[in-house]
Amino acid sequence: MKRFIFIFFISFISLSNGQENTNGNNSQQSREMQFSFRQKIGFSTLKLDNFEPIEGNLVQFDLMLSNSIAKKISLDYGLRISSFRANFIKDGQQSGVKNISFALPVGIIYVKDLNQNVSFIYGVHVYGSYLQSLEIGNFIDEEDLGINFGMDVQGGAVFKLNPKTDFAILIDFQGDLNKIKKDNLRLMHSNTALVSFNFSYKL
């Protein structure tokens, strides 16, 4: 976990310094930086070896920075926190399921203006995800399970609240590309669909 957080901050600082250098070398070009807080709620399926697929609720919080790299295109990166909750029955016993994970998404955002106050937004990200904990009733109680990778795509509408602040509503689809493996555990998330509520502020 400490290594994961350390890698995140090193990546964050490197990208921020890169943006500052870009601004210095391209002072005549418009380079916008935007901070976003994104809350997502929806559903996901946990696939775990020796268990039936477990469908449950997923809540995510993203803290993101977006750097304009071309007209209408931005580089988007930051930190994601995910919390999965579900209930299922195994061997006649009902059990609660919960896991907590942290991810580093990096992607590209494209914005198409509809008018001065409304835009359409499309994005695609890849992410590395660290599964901090997994609890399934009396069957599994593990921490520090490991890292896997995934991809997400999203699209929706952005509404300009004022020259500095935007609000967006998006549909977000996510899926892991490989399984996390620890001892005899093999697991991944799939069929993830979320509604995302985004607040963005231009720095």
Coil/strand/helix, residue 139: coil
* Nearby residues of 64 by Cβ (< 8 Å), 6 or more positions away: 35, 36, 37, 38, 76, 77, 78, 79, 105
- Write down the pLDDT at residue 59: 98
For the domain made up of 2-202, the CATH class stated in words is mainly beta
Confidence band, pLDDT 50/70/90 cuts, at residue 3 = low
Position with higher pLDDT, 19 vs 53:
53
Q: Give residue-wise pLDDT tens across range 51-109.
A: 889 999 999 999 999 999 998 999 999 999 999 999 988 777 788 999 999 999 999 99
In this model, does residue 19 exceed pLDDT 70?
no
- Write down the pLDDT at residue 2: 45
23: enclosing H helix or E strand: helix 2-25
End-to-end CA distance of the chain: 30
- Write down the pLDDT at residue 5: 46
Q: Give residue-wise pLDDT tens across range 112-163.
A: 999 999 999 999 999 999 999 999 888 889 999 999 999 999 999 999 999 9
* Nearby residues of 118 by Cβ (< 8 Å), 6 or more positions away: 157, 158, 159, 160
Domain ranges of the chain: 2-202
Please report the sign of the dihedral spanned by the C-alpha atoms of residue 62, residue 103, residue 90, residue 135.
Answer: negative
| Contact in structure between 172 and 152 (CB atoms under 8 Å) | yes
Coil/strand/helix, residue 203: coil
- Write down the pLDDT at residue 29: 40
- Write down the pLDDT at residue 16: 46
Average pLDDT (164-193) is: 95
In this model, does residue 7 exceed pLDDT 70?
no
- Write down the pLDDT at residue 135: 94
Confidence band, pLDDT 50/70/90 cuts, at residue 31 = low
* Nearby residues of 83 by Cβ (< 8 Å), 6 or more positions away: 58, 59, 60, 98, 99, 100
